[in-house]
Chain A
Amino acid sequence: MAEIVSLPDAVADLVHDGDVVALEGFTHLIPVAAGQEIIRQRRRDLTLVRMTPDIVYDQMIGAGCARKLIFSWGGNPGVGSLHRFRDAVQHAWPVPLELEEHSHAGMANRYVAGASGLPFAVLRGYRGTDLPAHTATIKPITCPFTGEQLVAVPALNPDVTIVHAQRADRAGNVQMWGITGVQKEAVLAARRSLVTVEEVVAELEPRPGAVVLPTWAVTRVAEVPRGAHPSYAQDYYERDNDYYQAWDPISRDRDAFTRWLDEHVFAGAASPQPAVSAGGGPGASTPTNAGSTS
């Protein structure tokens, strides 16, 4: 049964140096507050896993938490590149970042295999691309009935998966709705899991399109209102598009990034969610004029 704890306690309990850690959430419900808590607790040598590493992974990579990234698309959606990610790949700053690169279909199936207790998944993917030449975790497999050659990818079984959801009840049952991406698979594939939620409620009312994770399939739940900001939580708050725009100039510059980290992540150690301001931007002192970033 899931235990309901604070975010700092949950991260301290579940995330250890050297772990394989997946934060999932496909545009919607990205567990940003949890990622920043991992930065604040100064975890190191993590293998970060995520289909779509975006701002929160840019922050974690820039803060030096990661030694490896397993992913399929890394960018600042609607804006451009992840500059901390690029700086790590191209200049090993602040530490080198090893890449294990897949397609979305491959990553999704790796989580499916992980959730299913299988060592691998099969797909009709990667054919003719240059990915298999650079990614050891893509191998051919032959159908024993038709002889057709397909592709196998190994299961992903993170040490910890972290996702964000709209609600949990007091027993720790979790409910999310809207675009729910690969979150169920990522949680079920993991050895341990943390779900941050907008609110803990007395009872989960059934809702159209809701995915429910029973409490016995989750390790910890932490109530973190606006824990997905600057991404969105359907029926709670909208995506903060200005934040994504404003991130670009901060992340382009090592000093600006380091300042941001000190002011908006580390300085907030005493308060629960310092980097998650209600306003529109990564920090009050940040210009949010998107036009200045081009």
Chain B
Amino acid sequence: MKIKIVPFGIAKEIMQGSNITLDLDVSASIADLKKILKEEYPDFERLNSLKFAINENYEADHFQMQEGDEVVIIPPVSGG
């Protein structure tokens, strides 16, 4: 299934600014995605945290994505 990946902040730099589309196994989880991203972009390992949001909500490791989902990569936030 196709999953669009949208990185922000330092995640965008780690991925060289690109939104990418990944082709994942049906019912792949956030944990699976995290593993794939860390293999492709080892700099993600060095971050203080790495979170993911779908439909503007944080989703945990066990969350299973669906075809067409847009997953936003949320590196450590630092507003304020």
Does chain A bind chain B?
A: no
A interface with B by C-beta (< 8 Å)? none
